[in-house]
Amino acid sequence: MSKMDLSQFSMLDLFRVEAETQAQVLSLRLQAGVIDSFGAVWRFQLEELVKSPNTVPGDQIIEYPPVSDDSRYTFSLFAFPEKDFPRILGEFFEFTKDYYKQQGYRTNLLYVGYRILKDQKALLSYSWDENVMTIDPVSTANKGWADYLIAYNQFCSERNGKPLLNQTPKLTPEIVKKAFGDRLKTFADTRKQYDPNGRLLNDYFRMLLT
């Protein structure tokens, strides 16, 4: 690689470029520090304060305003077999760190996770085969969120994750077919029987389920 000829730049030019570069690095570090501190405070509250007998289920109901405000948030999720979750969670940590290094983005709210028991009462249940645990990124939909979801979906699909169709954005027919297999065809055939004109499908689910 050829070296840049710096003789054409004055000392003031070089100083200005270096100052701007260091300012960008410092800004990213400060942003990460604020997010980490915020996360630490909430983790303490969730682990030490928000637990029985200090919780009331009714108080956990969220009343969404007619028009979203600064408290709005969004999320996604995939479920994985419980036995595989420790390994996949470790791989997910590495994925998020690598994505941040390469793309400069990470979610700005705490992640959530659930343990779901095996359930075959719904044909497209994401815990049809066994108990599962989920990885749920949460965000205010800040810049970069949509692109992150595409990479997140691919990561999860490659590890046999199962999405929740009405709460996992940016899915593709390939990901959905891999997740649900023959159950997806059974669902599609049954839906056609009761909804032959596709009245109950929007464009998104028409792409995924037909």
Which residue from 151, 140, 133 is spatially nearest to 109, judged by alpha carbons? 140
Distances (CA, A) of 100 to 82, 152, 178, 199, 201: 27, 12, 27, 41, 36
Query: Which positions ≥6 away from 140 have C-beta within 8 Å?
Result: 72, 73, 74, 108, 109
Asked if residue 1 has pLDDT above 50, the reply is no
Are the C-beta atoms of residues 59 and 50 closer than 8 Å to each other?
no
Tokens of 19: 């100052």
Percent share of the chain, pLDDT over 70: 77
Asked if residue 4 has pLDDT above 50, the reply is yes
CA distance 67 to 51: 31
Which residue from 199, 194, 191 is spatially nearest to 210, judged by alpha carbons? 191
Tell me the CA end-to-end span of the chain in Å, nearest whole number: 52
Which residue from 37, 18, 40 is spatially nearest to 29, judged by alpha carbons? 37
Per residue in 147-201, pLDDT (tens digit) is 999 999 999 999 999 999 989 999 999 999 999 999 999 999 999 999 999 898 9
pTM of the model: 0.71
Are the C-beta atoms of residues 126 and 162 closer than 8 Å to each other?
yes
Query: Which positions ≥6 away from 200 have C-beta within 8 Å?
Result: 191
What average pLDDT does this structure show over 43-54? 70
Ordered DSSP codes for 12-80:
HHHHHHHHHHHHHHHHHHHHHHHHHHHHHHHHHIIIIISSTTS--GGGG-----SS--TT--EE--EEE
CA distance 187 to 80: 22
